[in-house]
C-alpha cells in the first residue's frame, strides 16, 4: 500500500510539472495583442452564409 501511495505521489508531481511546462510554453509563444489592433479571424470564403 505504501508503494502505491509513493507512485501516486510521483505521478501527481509529474503531471503538475508537465502542466507548468505547458503553461509556460503557451505564455511564451502566444501572439502579443496590442490595444486598438483588429483581431484577424480567418474564414473560409466558400462557407455558406447563414444570415
pLDDT in tens, 1-51: 999 999 999 999 999 999 999 999 999 998 787 888 887 778 888 878 776
Find the angle CA(40)-CA(46)-CA(51) to the nearest 5 degrees.
80
Q: φ and ψ at 43, to 5 degrees?
A: -130, 145
List the grid coordinates of 23.
503553461
At 51 the pLDDT is 65
| Residue whose C-alpha cell reads 462557407 in the numeric block | 47
Amino acid at each position: 500500500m505504501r508503494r502505491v501511495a509513493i507512485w501516486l505521489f510521483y505521478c501527481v508531481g509529474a503531471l503538475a510539472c508537465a502542466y507548468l511546462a505547458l503553461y509556460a510554453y503557451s505564455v511564451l509563444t502566444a501572439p502579443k495583442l496590442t490595444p486598438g489592433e483588429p483581431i484577424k479571424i480567418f474564414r473560409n470564403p466558400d462557407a455558406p452564409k447563414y444570415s
